[in-house]
Structure 1
Amino acid sequence: MTSTIVPTFDHFYPVTQQQQEPRSSQYTLQWRRGQLLVKSFSKFPQPYLPFIDNQQLLIECLKHSPTDLVSIDAKLGKTVLSFWAEACEQADKPIFLRIPSGSKLFKRGNEGAMWLQLIDRVIAGVLLLLLIPIMAVLIMVMQVYSPKSIFTREWRVGEKGKLFRAIKFSTLNQQNNKALGRWLRKSGLEHLPKLWNVLRGEMSLIGTRCWTLEEAITLTVITKSSRFAPIQN
Structure 2
Amino acid sequence: MSTLSLSNQAAMRKPSRDRASYYTLTWRQKQLLLTLSPTQTTPLLPALESEQLLADCLKRSPIHLVKLTPDIGEAALALWADACAKVNKPAYLSVPSIAALPKKQNRLKWWLKRLVDWSAAALLILVIGPLMLGLSFLIRLQSPGPVFFSQWRVGERGKLFRILKFRTMVTGAELYHHQVMGHQAGLHKCENDPRVTPVGRWMRKYSLDELPQLINVLRGEMSLVGPRPWALYDAVRLSPAVRQRLNALPGITGIWQVTGRSHLRDLDDVNRVDLRYMGSWSLRQDFKILLMTVPKVLSGFGAF
TM-score range, shorter chain: 0.7 to 0.9
Describe the shift of the 1:94–1:125 C-alpha distance in structure 2 as closer, same or farther (beyond 3 A): same
Deviation at 1:25, TM superposition (A): 3.1
SS at match of 1:6: strand
Q: Distance in 2 between matches of 1:23 and 1:47?
A: 15
For the Cα contact (< 8 Å) 2:59–2:87, is it kept in 1? yes
Q: Is 1:214 matched up with 2:233?
A: yes
Deviation at 1:41, TM superposition (A): 1.1
Matching residue of 1:184: 203
Q: Distance in 2 between matches of 1:159 and 1:195?
A: 16
Q: Is 1:5 matched up with 2:22?
A: no
Matching residue of 2:255: none
For the Cα contact (< 8 Å) 2:12–2:23, is it kept in 1? no
Q: Distance in 1 between matches of 2:111 and 2:42?
A: 42
Q: Distance in 2 between matches of 1:26 and 1:103?
A: 33
Deviation at 1:219, TM superposition (A): 3.0
Q: Distance in 2 between matches of 1:38 and 1:220?
A: 19
Matching residue of 2:117: 120
For structure 2, the residue ranges without an aligned partner over 5 or more in a row are 1-6, 172-193, 244-304
Matching residue of 2:139: 142
Q: Distance in 1 between matches of 2:162 and 2:96?
A: 23
Q: Is 1:168 matched up with 2:168?
A: no
Moved more, 115-124 or 162-171: 115-124
Describe the shift of the 1:8–1:172 C-alpha distance in structure 2 as closer, same or farther (beyond 3 A): closer
Q: Flag as ranges the 4+ runs of structure 1 deviating above 6 A.
A: none
Describe the shift of the 1:27–1:147 C-alpha distance in structure 2 as closer, same or farther (beyond 3 A): same
Describe the shift of the 1:113–1:200 C-alpha distance in structure 2 as closer, same or farther (beyond 3 A): same
Matching residue of 1:98: 94
| Identical residues among aligned pairs (%) | 39
SS at match of 1:143: helix
For the Cα contact (< 8 Å) 1:25–1:50, is it kept in 2? no
SS at match of 1:127: helix
Q: Deviations over 1:18-76 (max 9, x none)?
A: x8553233211111111011111157x95375874211110001111111110000111
Alignment of 1:1-233 (within 5 A): 4-6=8-10, 20=16, 22-41=18-37, 46-47=41-42, 49=44, 52-102=48-98, 107-110=101-104, 111=106, 112-173=109-170, 178-219=197-238, 221-223=240-242
Q: Distance in 1 between matches of 2:77 and 2:229?
A: 16
For structure 1, the residue ranges without an aligned partner over 5 or more in a row are 10-18, 225-233
Deviation at 1:158, TM superposition (A): 0.9
For the Cα contact (< 8 Å) 1:74–1:220, is it kept in 2? no
SS at match of 2:128: helix
Q: Which amino acid aligns with 1:163?
A: L
For the Cα contact (< 8 Å) 1:34–1:69, is it kept in 2? yes
Describe the shift of the 1:48–1:163 C-alpha distance in structure 2 as closer, same or farther (beyond 3 A): farther
Describe the shift of the 1:89–1:101 C-alpha distance in structure 2 as closer, same or farther (beyond 3 A): same
Q: Distance in 2 between matches of 1:48 and 1:99?
A: 28
For the Cα contact (< 8 Å) 1:159–1:210, is it kept in 2? no
TM-score when normalising by structure 2:
0.61
TM-score when normalising by structure 1:
0.78
Q: Distance in 2 between matches of 1:158 and 1:168?
A: 16
Moved more, 158-167 or 201-210: 201-210
